[in-house]
Structure 1
Amino acid sequence: MDYSKLGKQFIGGEWRDGKSGKTLPDINPYNDEVITAFQIASVADIDDAYQAAYKAKLEWDKVNPYNKRDILENAVKYIEAHEEEITSIIIQELGGTRLKAAFEIGLVKNMIKEAATFPLRMEGKILPSTEDGKENRLYRIPAGVVGVISPFNFPFFLSMKSVAPALGAGNGVVLKPHEDSPITGGTLIGKIFEEAGVPKGLLNVVVTDIKEIGDAFVEHPIPRIISFTGSTKVGSYIGQLAVKNFKKPLLELGGNSAFIILEDADIDYAVQAATFSRFTHQGQICMSANRILVQKTIYQDFVDKYREKVSTLTTGDPSDPQTIIGPVINNRQAETLQKLIEKGIEQGAVPLVQGKITGRMVEPTVLVNVKPDMVVAQEELFGPVVCIIPFETEEEAIEIANDTRFGLSGAIHTSNLERGVEIAKKVHTGMIHVNDVTINDEPIVAFGGEKQSGLGRLNGEWSLDEFTTMKWISVNYGQRKFPY
């Protein structure tokens, strides 16, 4: 795949440079090589993109639902035909490993397959009326145009998680990927749907910088929904801005997931699951386990085995199939992790494993003697750093798990499954998994967080609800009698 061809804006069905005159280099986080460079989009480009989406949506309305389904299925076929090339750009642009790329591509294909069913699920209802001779009809219709803002960690999937369902539900879309993942989270997706056969302008991709466009992407009058995935701090601002401008915000934000291990758990299995839950894609996943809570009776046994397991994780070149942990996305992320580790140690945490931080290469760090109120236990650790916290009783575990402003995911390990479910009900998260990992996402299951981890639910019927609206049209077959 020629990445230079994807180093353009995709607006109105045309590949072109942005009008701002400023350049954004797309840099490989492992070796600093410039993959390509974008002429970034201006406020005028944002307007062009939304206008194009609005017009193309009217054309999309006329397409037979079965043809819409076929077009979305074509997107899956294109991905399957170019899987190795897509793997390559995930490695180069994100520092993702081959394992991570395969995981992400699989999620994307399943999400598009689910979205391809949406055109045939735009069902309405006929309801009775309090008035004689009157019929109430409810029509499910597209919301209109959706603005999507995606993050850098799983950008191919987390962009597609909104883009594909929004298109399947009949909307036009403007996608703004993160500046660290403009191809994987943006122009690659534009290329896929261009090849799949969507009308020109239905999907637009604008690569830009907030310093250039300010709030224009959210404040533009055309989009009815703003779907944002990213940090809680930015998500709070975008959500308020969207509501202020009478748009619906969908927010998938940060997490501080607790991985609870009860004394009757299979320790060896819990070690494997906790390792995967923390270190997959360098821990740069909102659902990653930040806090491992271990019952005191098995604490030392778990800690010994976990330290041994973590010490086997290889850090290095993400293109090497043996590499488990590649680079974090940028220097800012590495510096933040360094500061959090230092703060944790300053507050009394002890490094069970303390990896080196060299540029963007962050080796695993495991902190013990962590108290629930320490900064490292309260903040999202978006990297290969994890805390282990002991607890006495399940009530204490629940209290610690809930002692956070976040509420995204979690996991509970126990041999008593129903006990695990009962504990899960008491942990304030949108999602939690018994005898599994904290990182789960399935195309037909409601996905979303509580508290400061987000607003709204995506996937399956929930995405269909979020990206459509119900319109009431009543029909009076007779004539009403009026009181005056």
Structure 2
Amino acid sequence: MTQCTPENPVPLAPTSAFIAGSWTDLPARFVLRSPVDGRILAEVADCGTREAEAAAQAATAAFASWRLTTAYQRAAILSRWAELIQSHAGDLARLITWEMGKPIRQSRAEIKTAVTLARWYAEECKRITGESIPSQFPDKRLQVWKVPVGPVFAITPWNSPVSMVVRKIAPALAAGCTVILKPDEQTPLSALKLAELWAEAEGPGGTLQVLPSADPVPLAERLMMDPRIAKLSFTGSTAVGQKLYGQGSSTIKRLALELGGHAPVLIFADADIDAAVAMTIHAKFRYAGQSCVAANRLYVEDAILPEFTAHYLEAMGHLQVGDPFAEDTDIGPLVSETAVEKFKAQLQDALDRGARLLRGGAVQGLYCTPTLLAEVDPQSRIFHEESFSPLLPIQGFRDEAEAIALANDTPYGLAAYLWTRDLGRAYRVAEALQCGIVGINDGSPATPQAYFGGSKLSGLGAEGGKWGLEEYLQLRHVSIQLPG
């Protein structure tokens, strides 16, 4: 366990692997440092192929009984888990902030999302229903059942280390699947704490296992080649997702891949400028831009571009960068030096191509100021790469057709945002955008009961709502010949 003292005020969390319902100490461990101030948070168990094999065996054995539990039994455990997450909300929020640097207010909001997700799937699993279908034969009864797909391998990212874990494993467990979770190596403590609470909620051994790993490649390859693992649910980069896609082909795994995003924001001349500024600030700069649905490209109709830019710069000036544990902080550190180097490289590339720096650009350690660029060359990296930082280009457009063309000029298709008071335009643009999520006058459209997913290189499959639950179910046709 990590020790919570005045010198090290990190909440208690397990540091061992959680395999087959037991905490497993390993001689191999890796050091976890906080992006907040560089302190060592813990030394965490470093799992490899041996632990992957043990987890696969345990998940397979547990699935044999877990799939037979009633929806009401699973719902009761998930409900207890949700209440435990709620009762430990303060510690979990602090863990998020220590592990990845998210401002504490935003960490608390993440816990609320996680609790809502757990509660949602505790209720939704009671609504898994099949169908009876008409038969052309009087002595046959035809049914279609929905049954759990089997043991699941889940890989979660560091940017939302509690809500992303719950969003994947709650529907899997609700469906009757067992889960092996590999949390990101930068944020394992949050996931291990959730496993501790799952056990406290009386989740059976082997239904949820957590394997932290400093080098997840061998572990992932082992589980991806294992025919007992029926499904992969992955959130992360497109490059890694493409590799996992290929690895799953030999065993024909079910796949849900939530990959990179490059969200455009379209501001039309009839928009409420103050509301559009406020919500676009939120869509871009929460988590310091480290979100797959973060605004990456800001397009404003030419007629209001100067006015909008002035309002936007003023709003950016009110953003507080600093200690993520301070209640008034809006932007904390980036998660790693690698993230900072990407911020600096994209910024320098744009400047070298003639971009004008309107605000920001300063870097101190892992802390980067919110940055706005104008007159950016369309070939600049920032227009073609996910930023995952507080760096944003602003560009004008002439009309609706050009706005749609600019928004769709990307191989990614996760989220997009638009601001207009014209209902017809809202529908036309939303229908034309090539993405899975559209916010119309809304900078935060994601919600637990709705679909969450993308198209093109942003992935496949679904999370959220009933669609997230169906990802862990497969259909079975049952034909019954009546006797006599």
Letter in 1 for 2:20: G
Letter in 1 for 2:476: K
Instruction: Show the counterpart of 2:57.
Output: 51
> Following superposition of structure 1 onto structure 2, how do residues 346-361 of structure 1 map, counting pairs within 5 Å?
346-361=352-367
Aligned pair partner of 1:459 in 458, 464, 477: 464
Q: What CA deviation, in whole Å up to 9, does each residue of 1:297-338 have, x standing for no partner?
A: 100011111111112211111011111110111111111111
Residue 142 of structure 2 corresponds to residue 168 of structure 1: no
- Report the alpha carbon displacement of residue 25 of structure 1 after superposing the two structures with TM: 1.1
> Following superposition of structure 1 onto structure 2, how do residues 254-333 of structure 1 map, counting pairs within 5 Å?
254-333=260-339
% of aligned pairs identical? 31
Instruction: Show the counterpart of 2:20.
Output: 12
Q: What CA deviation, in whole Å up to 9, does each residue of 1:161-203 have, x standing for no partner?
A: 110000001110000000001112x212211211111111110
Aligned pair partner of 1:65 in 65, 71, 78: 71
- Report the alpha carbon displacement of residue 281 of structure 1 after superposing the two structures with TM: 0.5
Secondary structure at 2:257's aligned position in 1? strand
1:17–1:40 CA contact under 8 A, matched in 2: no
Structure 2 Cα separation of the partners of residues 472 and 22 of structure 1: 47
Q: What CA deviation, in whole Å up to 9, does each residue of 1:219-254 have, x standing for no partner?
A: 222211100001111111111211232101100111
- Report the alpha carbon displacement of residue 211 of structure 1 after superposing the two structures with TM: 4.9
Secondary structure at 2:266's aligned position in 1? strand
Structure 2 Cα separation of the partners of residues 256 and 35 of structure 1: 32
- Report the alpha carbon displacement of residue 4 of structure 1 after superposing the two structures with TM: 5.9
Residue 124 of structure 2 corresponds to residue 121 of structure 1: no
Q: What CA deviation, in whole Å up to 9, does each residue of 1:333-358 have, x standing for no partner?
A: 11111111111111222111133122
Secondary structure at 2:379's aligned position in 1? coil
Structure 1 Cα separation of the partners of residues 196 and 85 of structure 2: 10
How many residue pairs were aligned?
475
Structure 2 Cα separation of the partners of residues 323 and 5 of structure 1: 25
Aligned pair partner of 1:345 in 335, 346, 351: 351
Structure 2 Cα separation of the partners of residues 122 and 461 of structure 1: 9
Residue 145 of structure 2 corresponds to residue 153 of structure 1: no
Structure 2 Cα separation of the partners of residues 320 and 350 of structure 1: 32
Instruction: Show the counterpart of 1:202.
Output: 207
Provide the alpha-carbon RMSD of the alignment.
1.6
Letter in 2 for 1:216: R
1:278–1:288 CA contact under 8 A, matched in 2: yes
Q: What CA deviation, in whole Å up to 9, does each residue of 1:362-414 have, x standing for no partner?
A: 11111111243322111111111111010011110000000001111111111
2:32–2:42 CA contact under 8 A, matched in 1: yes
Which of 173-182 and 74-83 deviates more? 74-83
Instruction: Show the counterpart of 2:480.
Output: 475
1:372–1:389 CA contact under 8 A, matched in 2: no
1:96–1:326 CA contact under 8 A, matched in 2: yes
Instruction: Show the counterpart of 1:97.
Output: 103
1:147–1:174 CA contact under 8 A, matched in 2: yes
2:297–2:394 CA contact under 8 A, matched in 1: yes
> Following superposition of structure 1 onto structure 2, how do residues 397-416 of structure 1 map, counting pairs within 5 Å?
397-416=403-422
Residue 143 of structure 2 corresponds to residue 137 of structure 1: yes
Secondary structure at 2:412's aligned position in 1? coil
Structure 1 Cα separation of the partners of residues 188 and 301 of structure 2: 43
Runs of at least 5 residues in structure 1 that lack an aligned partner in the other structure: 480-484
Secondary structure at 2:437's aligned position in 1? coil
Which of 142-151 and 440-449 deviates more? 440-449
Structure 2 Cα separation of the partners of residues 305 and 119 of structure 1: 46
Structure 1 Cα separation of the partners of residues 77 and 156 of structure 2: 23
2:96–2:161 CA contact under 8 A, matched in 1: no
Q: 1:214 to 1:78 in 2, by over 3 A?
A: closer
Secondary structure at 2:376's aligned position in 1? coil
Secondary structure at 1:258's aligned position in 2? strand
| TM superposition score normalised by structure 1 | 0.95
Q: What CA deviation, in whole Å up to 9, does each residue of 1:18-59 have, x standing for no partner?
A: 3xx432111111111111111301201011112111111222
